[in-house]
Structure formats: structure tokens, C-alpha cells
Structure 1
């Protein structure tokens, strides 16, 4: 017997599971999300979820990665060179700052967020570094970005931007959203300028 895989159906199932996980995060916070509730909201059995994900934590990691990558893919570059690249980074940061699931993780599960802030790079961070490094290399070739290892420069851009996202709420009385975007743009342009 030949097994026929329907990739579209598998993708749709994965999306339903991640959408259900997002719904749980917003309803209960990270600590009270259960695999059983994710399965219930996705309209599937727990074994179906277990076939795709080993545990709740892996579902949440996949959810965060999917949301971050979606924003990166959705915010297109407006050109090549340092200034369009910095503008894209700032637009991605603005979108992530307003993503309610990502902000829920930062604010309700700081211990989970700290793993990706202080201990190790996550999948989405690696994807962001790779994407920015590729654009930085091209910008170095046109002379709009200083010399240096593009992955190292991209990693520093990630650290600067990640810090701005994490601390935005704390400094909002001083730097509202527009001022924060303006200052982040200046910081990144200054860092990358030849």
C-alpha cells in the first residue's frame, strides 16, 4: 500500500495547532497552556498533536518562530543598501512590539524569554541574523555599510533591536513609539555606517 501525503493538509493542521496555541497564550498566559487545551481548540486529538510536537514547550517555540518569521517575510525591503535595510529592521521591530502573543511571552513568561535573551539563540533569531547578514553583505559591496563580518554585524543589530523591543514599554514615557523608532534608526545607522 502506498501512502500519499497531503502537504497542504499537514500545513493546515500545523497552522491550526499554532493558532490554537496562540489563542491559549492570550487566554491563559504561558504557564497555564496545556497540550490538551491546544488540541481541543485545534479540533484534534492529543495524539495528533503529539505526532507533530513532543510537548507544549516545543509548540510554543514553534509558535514564536512562526510569528517572527511571518513578520520578517511580510515586511519587504524597499531597496538595497544600509538605509533601506535599517528601515526594514525598524519596521520589523515595530510589528513585533505590537504582536500580542510575543508581548504576552515577554511579559507573562520572563523565564522562557530569558532563555532566548541571555542563554542561547533560538531558531527565529538565527533566521533573523541570516536574513540581515545577507542584506548587509550586499550593502557592504555598494559601500553603504562598513567592513566586517556580516554575521557579526547582523548579530549586533539583533542585540540592539531586541533590547529596544524588550524595553519599549519601560521607556514609553520618555520614548513613545515614534521616538523609539527614530532613535533605533539612528543607532543602527550609526553602528553600520562606513
Structure 2
């Protein structure tokens, strides 16, 4: 019985936190970060201020927690995409398409984005993302599907910078084309291309 109670309480806490975070993001989007108060958030989320303060000390901590959850979920989705593909080149493509799609769907501007992207957790997430991309590139290079004249780390930089452009694109089809172009830059040079470049 106590285990069931703990699970019920955990689910309740999670539901309260989710409601608070979604309410906060909506209020900040509507009124601006400086205008939103903890009292407003509590009222809109349908909880008391004392309850709100049990979960979060201030508005900024709510936004950071919200963003951390999103980043963790995105990294999890990219890892799943990698794990569901069977060949090295398919794993690479799955990760790059997943990242481009996330970038396309993510709000690119606004006060919330500007605030949360200054936090340390974003730097750590970017390092994890870079490592994930670098690893799938290295694996594909070992299989002969990706060029090996440039280090996997540099190729990961290339991919992440190129695919960050997905945030400014107007359609899923354009995102798909961007990934295709990025992947073509990773392919090994054909022998005749290398020979031609020496003449």
C-alpha cells in the first residue's frame, strides 16, 4: 500500500509542476518575464501560493525547470531515433533528421528562449548533443559511409551549425531538403574526384 501511495503522490506532484510550468510559459509569453508574479502563476494554475513556493522559489526557476525537461526529452528522442535504426548510416540520418525537426518546431525567439538559453544546463545539453552526433558520425565513418578526411568532431560541428538553419525554414519539406544537403556534405569523396583535384 505505501508504494502505491508514493506513486500517487509522485504523479500528483508531477501534474502540479507541469501545470505550473505550462502556465508560467504562457503568462511570460503574454505579459513578459518582468511582469509575471508568483501570485499570478498560482492563481492561473489553480493552486495556493504556499503550494507553489513548495515547488519553486521564483519565476526564473520555473522556466529553467521547464526548459530542462524539454531538453532532456529532446535528447531522449534523439537517442531513441539512433537506437531504432539498424545500420550506422541510418542511425546518423535518424539523429540528424530528429535534430532538424526539433529545431524547426522550437520557438526561435521570445523572452523565454532568451532567458533559458543563458543557463548552464543548456551548455551541458549542447555538449551531450555534440557527443551524440560525433559518435554516430564516427560509427558511420568506420563503416565507410562518411568521409574520414575530417574528424568526427568537426563534422558534428558542421552538422549542428547547418541544421540550426531549420529554425528559420517555412516547411517540413524544406527541413527535409536541408538534412539531405547536410548529409551529402558528409559523404566520402569518390576516387575520381580526388584524382581530378590533384591535376
Q: Does the 8 Å contact 2:42/2:49 carry over to 1?
A: yes
CA 1:20/1:179 → structure 2, altered by over 3 Å: closer, same or farther?
Answer: same
Give secondary structure in 1 for the equivalent of 2:47. coil
- Report the RMSD for the aligned CA atoms in angstroms: 3.7
The yes-or-no answer on 1:97 pairing with 2:104 is yes
In the alignment, the residues of structure 2 paired with residue 155 and residue 45 of structure 1 have an alpha-carbon distance, to the nearest angstrom, of 46
**2:29·2:110 contact (CA, 8 Å) conserved in 1?**
no
Give, in whole Å, the separation in 2 of the partners of 1:186 and 1:74.
23
Q: Counterpart in 1 of 2:180? A: 185
Matched, 1:20 2:44: no
Distance 2:130 2:62 in 1: 22
Q: CA deviation at 1:178?
A: 1.2
Structure 1 residue matching 2:109: 3-state secondary structure: helix
Deviations 1:83-133 (A, max 9, x none): 4423442344224423xxx41xx33227437748xx995344334234333
Q: Is the 8 A contact 1:68 1:96 kept in 2?
A: no
**Where do 1:73-152 residues align within 5 Å?**
73-74=76-77, 76-77=81-82, 78-79=84-85, 80-98=87-105, 102-103=106-107, 106-109=108-111, 111-112=114-115, 115=118, 121-147=122-148, 150-152=152-154
Give the superposition deviation at 1:74.
Answer: 4.1
SS of the equivalent of 2:65 reads helix
Q: Structure 1's 65 and 16: CA in aligned 2 closer, same or farther, altered over 3 A?
A: same
Give TM-score scaled by structure 2 length.
0.63
Structure 1: unaligned runs, 5 residues or longer: none
Higher relative contact order (CA 8 A, sep 6+): 1
Q: Which runs of structure 2 are paired with 1:21-100 in the superposition (5 Å)?
A: 21-30=24-33, 32-74=35-77, 76-77=81-82, 78-79=84-85, 80-98=87-105
Instruction: Give 1:60 deviation, angstroms.
Output: 1.7
> Are the aligned partners of 1:35 and 1:55 in contact in 2 as well (CA < 8 Å)?
yes
Q: TM-score, normalised by structure 1?
A: 0.64
Task: Tell me the secondary structure at the aligned position of residue 107 of structure 1.
Answer: coil
Confirm or deny: 8 A CA contact 1:87 1:185 kept in the other structure: no
* Aligned pairs, number: 176
In structure 2, stretches of 5+ residues that fail to align are 189-199
